[in-house]
Structure 1
Amino acid sequence: MIADDDEFDPPLPPRRLLLRRKRVLIPLGLLLAILVAFLALRTGDTDRDEMIAKYGGRDAAFAAGPAGQRIHYRDQGKRDGPAIVLLHGSNSSLHTWEPLVRRLGGTYRIVTLDLPGHGLTGGTPDKDYGAAGMMAAVDVVAAKTGLDHFILGGNSMGGWVGWRYALAQPERVDALVLLDAAGMPLRMGEKAPPSNIGFRILEYRFGRWLATQITPRALVEESLRGSVERQTIVDDAMIDRYWELLRFPGNREATVLRARMDREPAMAARVGEIEAPTLILFGDKDRLINPTAAKSFNERIAGSEVVLLPGIGHLPMEEAPDATAAAIADFLTRRLAPTPAGPETR
């Protein structure tokens, strides 16, 4: 009878046995620590109904779209006044326009909306968070509110959607207002702006995955503070709004999908086709988009006007609402004034 070879293996010395156990236990311990930390830091989505009650109120309005969209919007201001449709920036919401609604609503009818993947609109079934999906949302809300033409304004990403819309449907855009709008290439010899920590994280694959799982309130606050020059506007209510709506169902996934999508930079070559009266308003301390982009827009859009607000960052409508509203009102009054009737028609 032949014995098993194991019967003749000498037992391992205690020191070697301890080393072997360490090789197994240390990696397992690290993995366990990482898992515990991940579970402790992980932030889930906010509750849909709770957020609608908190940030939409009892009169929250939604427009249903053909692709299953459910677009949150507000229709405020002077009902029979000229209509302005306003589009917010990336990871923001229609709430960013409330300071302008309070200042311009006595003269204008102001329609604001949460673009797909933002605010109380949340993720959309078609997951189209590019220019086409955003412009489709504008059409859905315009149809719901009975607008066939309007003044169109947008901040940052919303400005990019705005000038894309003016190219796609020029007959509907009476005037265009671009506030720190995205979409212009860097000028010769120019460096990219410093941006904020939230957008820098999205530049990396692991960062994009992490952004769908862990969204610390402190990170949202730091990103907000990195976007504005007037720090006094960043209070607890503003931080909570951005933090909670970013975690509205579907919004974090949409953020990651937008970070990977093709922004079609070649479209910037067509911006000169815009014929609508255009106001270009930038904060001269913008750290997300170089303020020189205002000059690029102005050079390319014939007849456009530029206003640079000193000491203001990326969100002029919140950082300097009085100056922003005054500039918009002055521009629209001058550029959209009715043509005096001739003697034969008086």
Structure 2
Amino acid sequence: MKSIQLLLMISLLALTGCASMGVGSRPLSELTQNYTNEQSKFLAVDDLVIHYRDEGQGPVLVLLHGVASSLHTWDGWVDELKGSYRIIRLDLPAHGLTGPDPKMERYNIGYMVDKLDKFLNKLGVNKMSLAGNSLGGYISWNYALHRPDRVEKLILLDSAGYPQDMPFIMDFASWPVIGEMSTLMMPRFMVGMNVRAAYGDDSKVDDKLVHRYHDLTLRPGNREGLVNVFRTMKEQSDNPHLGDRVTEIRVPTLLIWGEEDDWVPLDIMERFRRDLANVSVITYEGVGHMPMEELPVQSARDARSFLQTGKIFTLPAATASGD
């Protein structure tokens, strides 16, 4: 199966024009101009300059995006929630405008948790609720274990946390030789395939969205950084002890999941549901790996209901027709 997919990709590469091949990097100054706004700020944490946004008023809500994404994935949530919360979101190391850490070849969970902790220390944030998608969810629940004194509520959206198969495109990019090729060339069509595969309804994926994802992979250093992230994930994907400490989490936790998620499927959600001591669950029919993008209004409202009440509840599957 992998050989067939590889031949398909090689054929598509041969037919794709050079303008969208993603050879070379985009100037950081150009990307900064295109993907920052008046809320964008930069903060040095050790040797890393982190791009973040700090918006709204109220209790602090920290948002962590998924692998190969950026803080922009939360735009819909911010629009819906900034009237009630102070929302802090950041581009994780090796992602977005933050870019890679020059000292790192692997981005293990200890490193990610430490960088988040130092970032929040610099902002003077001592209490928060924390929401994370995919890789960001994995960092979130590990941070809740590391700093249980800080995290008041936890929201995991299609979160990594247990052994599973890697999504093909990430597994593919982590292979020897292929990974090195990916650091030199990142075709836009492959980025588009990746984004569409993450959506339950790929008709919601437009050219502007694909361009944003593609542009930010072309930040200087990001392709090398992302390959290192993929390889770190690959090394952990079959670790039988990956989720052992989930049972230690005591903070109220909401699981938000897309029922059509092929990357982190519902059986992973069920393992979280089984192991978490204080858990609520909402799933969405027809939605994929990124509910905050694909169903922003409904998922944000469900998150707000949980944050305000802290109640433990389980709802039947919702439909995606409301947004």
Bin the TM-score by the shorter chain: 0.7 to 0.9
1:330 Cα offset (Å)? 1.1
Select which of 145, 162, 187 maps to 1:216: 187
Residue 43 of structure 1 is matched in structure 2 by 23
Aligned residue number for residue 255 of structure 1: 226
Find the aligned partners of 2:309 and 2:53 in 1 and give their Cα distance. Answer: 27
Match of 2:307 among 289, 308, 332: 332
Instruction: Give the unaligned 5+ runs of structure 2.
Output: 1-13, 312-323
Q: Secondary structure at the match of 1:120?
A: coil
8 Å contact kept, 1:52–1:60? no
Deviation at 1:269, TM superposition (A): 0.7
Task: Identify the residue that residue 53 of structure 1 maps to in structure 2.
Answer: 33
Matches within 5 A, 1:227-266: 227-261=198-232, 262-263=235-236, 266=241
Q: Check the 8 A contact 1:176/1:277 in 2, yes or no.
A: yes
What is the rounded CA distance, in whole Å, between the counterparts of 2:242 and 2:266 in structure 1?
Answer: 20
Query: For the structure 1 residues 41 and 234, does the alpha-carbon distance in structure 2 shift closer, same or farther, using more than 3 Å as the test?
Result: closer
Structure 1: distance between partners of 2:37 and 2:29: 10
Residue 161 in structure 1 maps to residue 139 in structure 2 = yes
Q: Is the 8 A contact 1:75 1:112 kept in 2?
A: yes
Question: Which residue of the other structure, out of 164, 174, 177, is the alignment partner of 2:155?
Answer: 177
1:281 to 2:256 alignment: yes
- For residue 69 of structure 1, the aligned residue among 42, 48, 53 is 48
Match status 1:124 vs 2:95: no
Matched, 1:298 2:306: no
**Identical-pair percentage:** 37
1:111 equivalent among 78, 88, 94: 88
Mapped to 1, the partners of 2:68 and 2:50 lie a distance apart of 15
Task: State the structure with more CA Rg.
Answer: 1
Aligned partner letter, 1:143: N
Alignment partners' CA distance in 1, 2:29 and 2:50: 15
Q: Gaps (5+ residues) in structure 1?
A: 1-33, 187-191, 337-346
Query: What SS does the aligned partner of 1:312 have?
Result: coil
Residue pair 2:70, 2:96 contacting (<8 A) in 1 also: yes
Once the 2 structures are TM-superposed, how far is the Cα of residue 131 of structure 1 from its aligned partner? 1.3
Code of the residue aligned with 1:334 in structure 2: it is T
Q: What residue identity is the alignment partner of 2:135?
A: M
Q: How does 1:25-40 map to 2 (within 5 A)?
A: none
Instruction: Give CA-to-partner distance per residue, 1:228-262, whole Å, 9 cap, x none.
Output: 11223211111111101011111111111122224
Distance 1:104 1:265, change over 3 A: farther
Label 1:229 to 1:148 Cα distance change in 2 as closer, same or farther (>3 A): same
**In 2 relative to 1, CA 42–175 (structure 1 residues): closer, same or farther, beyond 3 Å?**
closer
- Range 132-141 or range 159-168, more displaced: 132-141
Where has structure 1 moved over 6 Å in runs of 4 or more?
none
Secondary structure of residue in 1 paired with 2:73:
helix
Matched, 1:86 2:63: yes
C-alpha distance in 2 between matches for 1:218 and 1:141: 34
Change (3 A) 1:246 1:133: same
What TM-score do the two structures reach when normalised by structure 2?
0.85
- Give the match for residue 137 of structure 1: 115
Contact residue 280 and residue 305 of structure 1 kept, 8 A = yes
Contact map agreement 1:116 1:133 (CA 8 A) in 2:
no
Please tell me whether the aligned partners of residues 73 and 141 of structure 1 are also in contact (alpha carbons under 8 angstroms).
no
Per-residue deviation at 1:298?
0.9
Is residue 72–residue 113 contact of structure 1 (8 Å, CA) maintained in 2?
yes
Number of the residue aligned with 1:150: 128
Mapped to 2, the partners of 1:266 and 1:42 lie a distance apart of: 37
Matched, 1:96 2:76: no
Flag the 1:85–1:260 CA change in 2: closer, same or farther, 3 A: same
Q: Deviations over 1:6-65 (max 9, x none)?
A: xxxxxxxxxxxxxxxxxxxxxxxxxxxx9xx99x95610111111111101355311111
Question: Pairwise CA RMSD of aligned residues?
Answer: 2.3
1:64 maps to a residue whose letter is A
Q: In structure 2, what is the Cα distance between the partners aligned to 1:179 and 1:91? A: 16
Q: TM-score, normalised by structure 1?
A: 0.79
Matched letter for residue 43 of structure 2: A
Note the C-alpha offset of 1:144: 3.2
